[in-house]
Amino acid sequence: MPIIRNDLVLFSGKKDTYLICDEGSGEIESYRKSLDYLSSQVWNKDCSVILGFDVEGESSCQSYYEQIGAILRRMTLKHVFCYGQDIEKYAYAFPKGAVLYNSKSDMIDDLSKFDFEKESMLIKAPATMGIQDVISFLQRRVHDTVYEINLNAIEHNLSYLRSRIEPTTRVMCMVKAKSYGMGDVEIATTLQRAGVDYLGVAYVDEGVNLRQWGIDTPIIVMNPEDSSITSLIKYRLEPEIYSMRVLRKFSDELEKYNFTQPYPVHIKMDTGMHRLGFSHAQLPELIDFLREHPHIKVGSTFSHLAAAEDPREDEFTRSQLARFEDMANTLIGGVGYHITRHILNTSGIIRYADKQYEMVRMGLGLYGYIPFYEIQRNLRCCATLRTVISQIRTLDAGETVSYNRRYRVQNTSRIATLPIGYADGISRLWGNGRGYVTINGQKATIVGSICMDMMMVDVTGIECNEGDTAVLIGRDPSADVIAEEIGTIPYEVLIRVSDRVKRIYTLRI
């Protein structure tokens, strides 16, 4: 039996629905795999399906529909819509309450009568049946500009980085700032499925959002604010504690609750970054407090390396590692129980594997970027920002492009306008001859000032038409190439992509 692979596309729909779209195989096993994925989702309590079937060529329509119906009857579904040739004749095979249509057009006309809200919905049909018109009815917004995130690439990068550490070393994955702008629940769900030990966020509201979407992996909040401690405890988030003031505030709030087990916290040590954390001189006071308050237990202690990626700073980095080890041992000896230690970020995993302790933290490497060429080749690009050409015009020498006439055409040129600008996250430093986009595999130089909602590129000599795709961030140009050109870091390039750009997620199962 051939292996069936389903290619899913995931994104938000109207009224807090979540759409899981699969346009591919019509084999029964393919439906079973996609339905299993729907059943395992954590985002919404209710699940629904819209399924299309192409039974031409099937030896027995009756047997086909009966097998599909049997799968559906074993599930708990809020809505069931199915369309296909003569399907209404086989209503007995489908769950009670299923709505069946012999034609897709009849079904689409009927969908407006139903209330879809806060549910996850699988939309699946063979490619011969098409589902785009169904998706158009249900999706929240339609744009030519999209940010496409490949969840399989993130899984690959996680697997590769895990191969660089000991099997017993635990893994914490950073999903703060919506996973560097790529998405929150979708990526957190992928990491949870992969069995990571912790997720890391910056603020409590980020962790609360993940909890509300069904993420139950332990979550560390790296910057717990005083005003959010109540929510932190309510949603069983675990705070970074970096000072006695924060610890006392948290302890006072925790005493209002009656937990049967000590509440885990994570102690931040300042080993030279000088951002947040306890100094060595503060450890005796910290230890005394922890001994006197057994309702709090240290789950881990950690620090940040300031320059793990830079060989010129190896002496300083080694001094940080030595300082951390000494401080961690002092804390462990003082409280009298085992504490997980972690200090390595992605660069540290590559360059200081002998100091992985009991846990490591993975950040930008998960998303395909690391400042080491040989390692970079083993990672996969997971995010592609793309749009389409709105218009192409031919300009003569001497004509100018965009605001302030900053770009003057030297020779007769074809100039394409793209519907994306600095409001979407494209830096104005990237323009007027600096930087490029990729169209049909060729580089098109950015010309003129980038506007709020548009930008122009020179497509002279490139075979392209209006409606063709242009890639702004992806394999080429990559975020690190853009960052180097405009004098920043890949983090900033990725996180700039604004929320008004539609995110879609692809996943092969």
Give the helix/strand (H/E) hosting 362. strand 359-362
What is the pLDDT at residue 55? 87
Nearest to 432 by CA among 403, 460, 461: 403
Neighbours of 80 (CB within 10 A): 21
**Amino acid at the residue 329:** N
Kindly state the tokens that stand for 405.
């006439």
Nearest to 15 by CA among 128, 155, 201, 141: 141
402 within 8 A of 418, measured Cβ to Cβ: no
- Per-residue pLDDT tens listing for the chain (509 residues): 567 889 999 999 888 899 999 998 899 999 999 999 999 999 999 999 999 999 876 668 899 999 999 999 999 999 999 999 999 999 999 999 999 999 999 999 999 899 899 999 999 999 988 899 999 888 876 678 999 999 999 999 999 999 999 999 999 999 999 999 999 999 999 999 999 999 999 999 999 999 999 999 999 999 999 999 999 999 999 999 999 999 999 999 999 999 999 999 999 999 999 999 999 999 999 999 999 999 999 999 999 999 999 999 999 999 999 999 999 999 999 999 999 999 999 999 999 999 999 999 999 999 999 999 889 999 999 999 999 999 999 999 999 999 999 999 999 999 999 999 999 999 999 988 899 999 999 999 999 999 999 999 999 999 999 999 999 999 999 999 999 999 999 999 999 999 999 999 999 99
Give the angle subtended at the CA of 356 by the CAs of 170 and 220, to the nearest 5°.
45
What is the pLDDT at residue 1? 54
Conformational region of residue 441, where left means phi above 0, alpha means psi within -120 to 50, and beta covers everything else? left
Give the helix/strand (H/E) hosting 109. helix 104-111
Neighbours of 496 (CB within 10 A): 18
DSSP result, 398-451:
T-EESGGG-EE-SSSEEEEEES--GGGT--TTS-TTS-EEEETTEEEEEES---
Domains and CATH numbers, the chain: 7-142 (3.90.190.20), 151-376 (3.20.20.10), 383-508 (2.40.37.10)
What is the pLDDT at residue 59? 66
What is the pLDDT at residue 455? 97
What is the pLDDT at residue 74? 96
Of the residues 89, 234, 257, 403, only one is catalytic, namely: 403
Whether 403 is catalytic = yes
What is the pLDDT at residue 60? 83
Mean pLDDT (the chain, rounded): 95
| H-helix segments, 112-197 | 132-138, 151-163, 176-181, 185-193
Whether 198 is catalytic = no
pLDDT in tens, 182-230: 999 999 999 999 999 999 999 999 999 999 999 999 999 999 999 999 9
Q: What are the distances in angstroms from CA 123 to CA 29, 370, 450?
A: 16, 36, 38
Of the residues 176, 178, 268, 355, only one is catalytic, namely: 176
What is the pLDDT at residue 122? 98
429 within 8 A of 486, measured Cβ to Cβ: yes
Alpha-carbon torsion angle 299, 303, 304, 307, nearest 10: -140
Q: Sheet with 170-174: list strands edge to edge.
A: 340-342, 296-302, 263-268, 238-241, 219-221, 198-201, 170-174, 359-362
Give the angle subtended at the CA of 482 by the CAs of 477 and 488, to the nearest 5°.
160
